[in-house]
Amino acid sequence: MLLIGKGAFMKNEQDARKLANQMIEIGKLAGRETVCVLSDMNEPLGYAVGNILEVIEAVRILKGEVIRDVEEVVLELGAYMIQLAGKGENIDKNKEKLKENLQNGKAYQKFLELVENQGGDISYLENLEKFEKANVIEPVYSEHTGYICEIDAKKVGELACHLGAGRIQKEDVIDTKVGIVLAKKVTNLVEKGEVLGYVHAKDKESAFYAKQKLMDIIKVGEEPVQDVSKILGVIR
């Protein structure tokens, strides 16, 4: 998968397609069939940004919770993986199989099996409340009524790093508990005073800073915003 947009290395589709074709040529030279899925990364994928927060979101999806943009990307990538493995030529039918296994619990059970076989404690997956929580969890409220028109993925990622979810310098120690959980996505209607998201921080000071920054990052406009697919194209 090749990401394109504000939160990605490749900022525009034209340059991304050039890179995708080069990657495919490398695959051919190695004797491997290669498919490159182009995906939009202007806003964060899903709602959670942060280590434990993203794990929890992933497990909820495996348990059947539907997050539309995540599902779209997962089904697209998974369908082509099945095809490349020689297990199904029809992409649409592959997507149907994947969706069925998400809904019937087979995907979640397989994940439990993989974790258990590697010595992991699956009780955390069975009871997500066991995961450690940040010291401070505070909501961010909208100051306006309107439509979410932008959530800059790069700025959200940088803010999560500032909270400690990622390294700014190589010596930094990652805090797996902190991060951001959005409550809204681009195109969503929001009322003044409604929650835009939650800041998970190590202390009140960093939480206050992150709340102010997140209010600036999430842009609210008066006009409805057109929904766009996360999949921008497939090159093979």
Pairwise CA distance, residues 47 & 226, whole Å:
19
Residue with tokens 């959200």: 156
Element (H, E) at 124: helix 123-126
- pLDDT digit string, tens, across residues 82-139: 999 999 999 999 999 999 999 999 999 999 999 999 999 999 999 999 999 999 999 9
- pLDDT digit string, tens, across residues 48-73: 999 999 999 999 999 999 999 999 99
- pLDDT digit string, tens, across residues 12-39: 999 999 999 999 999 999 999 999 999 9
Considering the domain 2-49+63-106+229-235, what is its CATH architecture?
Answer: 3-Layer(aba) Sandwich (3.40)
- How many helices (H) does the chain have, and how many strands (E)? 8, 10
Tokens of 118: 């590697």
Quick one: pLDDT band at residue 8, thresholds 50, 70, 90? very high
Domain 135-221 CATH (choose: 3.40.50.2300, 3.30.470.20, 3.30.160.70, 3.90.1170.30)? 3.90.1170.30
Whether 2-49+63-106+229-235 and 135-221 share one fold: the answer is no
For the segment 72-78, the average pLDDT, to the nearest whole number, is 97
Domain spans of the chain?
Answer: 2-49+63-106+229-235, 135-221
